[in-house]
Amino acid sequence: MQYLLLIYESEAGRPDVKPEEMNAIIAEYGAFTASIKASGNYLGGEALAPVSTATTVRVRDGKPTMTDGPFAETKEQLGGYYLVEAKDLDEAVAIAARIPGARFGSVEVRPLMKFD
């Protein structure tokens, strides 16, 4: 069973983060990614550039329109994701809880829809 783990975090929430703390968090992400690769759960994952770089596209009456920024103005923004294989929701949630971002923001666990 595949789950997408969506990492939401406030981009403005931690302005006082020191460079060495940032490096520690990056190292933690590296270790986490290595561990889920070793355990066979990892299918993919990336960090996203800040929402200030986002563009939202809609097609209405056949005409595409673009707006600057993300779809919804929220306190926490989508900052990255992992795609994992897990045997059930409990395993997926346990993996999500180990993502460093879960301590600062939140991780949404979404099963992938299966078409068959």
Q: What is the DSSP letter of 98?
A: T
Smallest gap, in angstroms, from Cβ of residue 92 to another protein? 8
Please, which residue, 78 or 96, has the CB nearer to another protein?
A: 96
Pick left, alpha or beta for residue 28 (phi over 0 → left; psi -120 to 50 → alpha; otherwise beta). Answer: alpha
Place of tokens 């045997």: 87
Which of 21, 19, 23, 45 has its CA nearest to residue 98? 45
Question: If binding is defined by CB under 8 A, does position 6 make contact with another protein?
Answer: no
Helix, strand, coil tally for the chain in percent (to 5)? 30, 35, 35
Smallest gap, in angstroms, from Cβ of residue 8 to another protein? 17
Size of the site for another protein (CB under 8 A): 10
Question: If binding is defined by CB under 8 A, does position 116 make contact with another protein?
Answer: yes
| Mask for 72-111, x = binds another protein (CB under 8 A) | ---------------xxxx--x---------------x-x
